Amino acid sequence: MCGITGYYALADNAKNNLIKVRQSTEKMYLRGPDQGDIYTHNNVALGHRRLSIIDTSTGAVQPMTDAGGRYIIVFNGEIFNYKELSAKYLSKVWEKNGGPKTTSDTEVLLYLLIEYGKDCLEWLSGFFALSFYDTETGTMLLARDRYGKKPLNYYSTDEEFAFASEMKSLLEWGIPKKLNYSVLHQYLQLNYIPQPQSMIAGVAKVKPAHYILLDSTGVKEYKPYYEISIERSHYKDYSYEQAQAELVKRMDASVQERMIADVPLGAFLSGGIDSSVIVALASKYTKDLNTFSVGYKDNAFFDETKYAKLVAEKYKTNHTVFSLTNNDFLEHVYSVLDYMDEPFADSSAIPEYILCHHTRKHVTVALSGDGGDEVFAGYNKHAAEWKMRQSSLVNNLVKAGLPIWSMLPRGRNNKITNLFRQLHRFAEGGKLSAKDRYWRWASFNTVAKTDSLLSTNSLQKVDYAMMERERQEILKHLTEKDFNELLLTDMNLVLTGDMLVKVDLMSMANSLEVRSPFLDYKVVDFAFSLPEQYKIDSSMKKRIVQDAFRNMLPEEIYNRPKHGFEIPLLDWFKNELWGLINDDLLKESFVEEQGIFNVGEVEQLKKKLHSNSPEDSHATIWALIVFQYWWKKYFVD
């Protein structure tokens, strides 16, 4: 796990920028605190920060060149099947060169790219962002893993091409800082930025499962090397019982593959099904597995550590619970805000940061259950959509009750107001098409509500046609014919734009590598060859995962409400963080002087926090706070 950066001067007047490679590299120190180095050649500069995981020797440092010095690679990630690929494809290379010089996956990847070029990308099992440069031809290949677990930002003009793992590193190349108002609009709808967009105009992310090929004349190719597809022709290949056995087999192989490390390794254990599955399987391959949970001292309703302890006791793991008060969470808010170099307003980033912060004191690598919900239908919104597609008297009554739900107090601060919120959201969705309903349920704010948050000047800079094109691209697979279409849409929107961004940001802020066995491509491909009823029905979300591993897990972790990482934002905003809101980031005079937001609407939103029907006002306030904190850091001298 590392950080990479690079620059290709496509015009003579851009070559002066090559000297910025070291400062760009050092901006990513937390991604790779163990070692950093740079490389320059003619009009190309590359930088790398290393977090040593596999082969921690100095021989495996990057940038890494081949024996002849023609080829060079900077690489962020892990290739778990590198030994198999080495034996299958590189035996003649090793014979010629006297064997590999290291035991690293980087050297294997370097020579695979030398021998097979971009064709080898589809063989890789793991996660990565890479740049591979040929000094003789001047060609450079950039590529990103299948699901976008590792970030890769880039900026391209006729004069220059720059890339980096992090925005703060990319900006060191002298990229102009200009706000993308259309992306700001999308961000205020979703509370995160849908990929491949960026809040900085002209900057984008390399799309997951894509490569870019360029030379001294600029970008030559930008294409996918893999695509998730719904394999309906295979829906009858497995009975439900056979599919369960196959899932256990593939998950077991995925976990075993991800146990490779030359540094201490552990696993997150939340008490939910996904992390419990990972721990059950990982315990087969190591004694005294280190497991870690975050507990909530001040909120028993959201504390799941008792379930995590049941799994830890069953598998005799070396279990650590970080039992924290609300003040403990509050203390880390500024650490989270400081690390973000683009606005990201999923508030569960705060407990994710804390979990990574404490876990890093014990291990360098952690396994997690990320991806299980998107791949196998584990979210409450999936249950709601399933119910929406069934014809029932209850559904019709809830939909017909929309005028009533609209009048009742709605919020997340207690069970009653949360129930009214959910009923209102369900009834509202019933009046929409499948695509519009998905987008509404994925969003915190409608387009109209978002319009009201922005100033007149800002709205004039929003490209609504571009936003609609992007929205339709994200929703292109979605009809009401097959629930797998919705899960595929989740993979392309929620997983890449929210969940994986959160885990990467918060783990890298603490120099911790997180591995996700549910996102092995052999598991994902298998999941999308299964009919929808294997994943969800009227009584169960994530059905096949729950049933396949039932004999491995304590019965107590089944049949209970699903909780995510929850924090008391609403209470904080009305108390401890009210000064940050009212006297600083959303101070009326500051917002007016800034000119980005509608002052009156922001003031109304602040008042709504203190009403008996706050709805999701706290989530939108958090999105505004995150943006304002970022904007002051990057745009105010």
Q: What positions carry a catalytic annotation? A: 2
Q: Are 154 and 167 in contact (CB under 8 A)?
A: no
Q: Using omega within 30 degrees of 0 as the cis cutoff, is the peptide bond preceding 63 cis?
A: yes
Beta-bridged to residue 366, according to DSSP, are: 266, 514
Give dist(CA 497, CA 507) in Å, integer: 16
Which tokens in the block code for residue 213?
A: 């090929």
Complete edge-to-edge strand list for the sheet that includes strand 290-296 = 318-324, 290-296, 265-268, 365-367, 513-515
Q: Are 487 and 374 in contact (CB under 8 A)?
A: yes
Give dist(CA 432, CA 446) in Å, integer: 13
Q: Which of 546, 547, 531 is nearest to 484 (CA)?
A: 531
Given the structure tokens 């030559």, which residue do they identify? 220
Which tokens in the block code for residue 305?
A: 């550590």
Give dist(CA 508, CA 544) in Å, integer: 32
Taking residue 409's Cβ as centre, other Cβ atoms within 10 Å add up to: 15
Beta-bridged to residue 154, according to DSSP, are: 163, 204
Q: Are 505 and 193 in contact (CB under 8 A)?
A: no
Which tokens in the block code for residue 82?
A: 């590198």
Question: What is the residue-wise DSSP string for 242-255?
Answer: HHHHHHHHHHHHHH
What are residue 587's phi and psi, to 5 degrees? -60, 135
Q: Using omega within 30 degrees of 0 as the cis cutoff, is the peptide bond preceding 196 cis?
A: yes
Given the structure tokens 């706050």, which residue do they identify? 614
Give dist(CA 401, CA 416) in Å, integer: 16
Taking residue 556's Cβ as centre, other Cβ atoms within 10 Å add up to: 12
Complete edge-to-edge strand list for the sheet that includes strand 218-224 = 64-65, 71-79, 126-134, 140-144, 210-215, 218-224
Burial of 522 (0-12, 13-18, 19+ CB in 10 A): middle
Give dist(CA 38, CA 45) in Å, integer: 7
Question: What is the residue-wise DSSP string for 62-87?
Answer: SSEE-TTSSEEEEEEEEETTHHHHHH
Q: Are 95 and 85 in contact (CB under 8 A)?
A: no
Given the structure tokens 């039932």, which residue do they identify? 550
CA distances from 303 to 201, 244, 366, 373, 564 (A): 41, 30, 21, 20, 10
